[in-house]
Amino acid sequence: MYNKYKQLKIKNMSVNQFMSANLVAIQRIIGQLQRPFDSHAFIQKLSREFQVEYVQLLSAYTDEPFIKVHGQIGKFLSENQTTLGIRQNNKVLSKNIFGEQSENEEWV
């Protein structure tokens, strides 16, 4: 479901700033995911809820935008485990946003 809340203007906002500004929504998304979950599942829900903002974050990069933005999202999850109530578990293989199997972090 698309985010019905007031959209933030994210021009000039980093991924970390965007995630921090939307911490309550991030926590809610995590709460909706079945445990364990991986970064791909989180990114899929995040991108669905924040469609416009997700595209804006991607558009900030001309070289490998998905790799860069998704890497920063994963870094945010890792650096905010306690606040988010999650813990890194293992590296797992799952389908990324392009339907390709790739390694990413699993969270419990």
Taking only the tens place, the pLDDT of each residue in 62-80 is 999 999 999 999 999 999 9
Closest Cα to residue 106, out of 26, 12, 38, 27? Answer: 38
Indicate whether 94 pLDDT > 80. Answer: yes
User: Which residue type occupies 86?
Assistant: I
Residue 9 pLDDT: 57
Q: Residues near 31 by Cβ (< 8 Å), separated by ≥ 6?
A: none
Q: H or E element: which one contains 65?
A: helix 65-79
Report residue 87 as tokens. 């813990």
Cβ-based burial of 27 (10 A; exposed 0-12, middle 13-18, buried ≥19): middle
Reported as a single tens digit per residue, the pLDDT across 8-62 is: 556 679 999 999 999 999 999 999 999 999 999 999 999 999 999 999 999 999 9
- For residues 94 and 76, what is the distance between their CA atoms, to the nearest angstrom? 20
Q: What is the number of alpha carbons within 13 Å of residue 89 lying toward its C-beta?
A: 13
Query: Which residues does 94 contact at the CB level (< 8 Å), separation at least 6?
Result: 38, 40, 41, 101, 102, 104
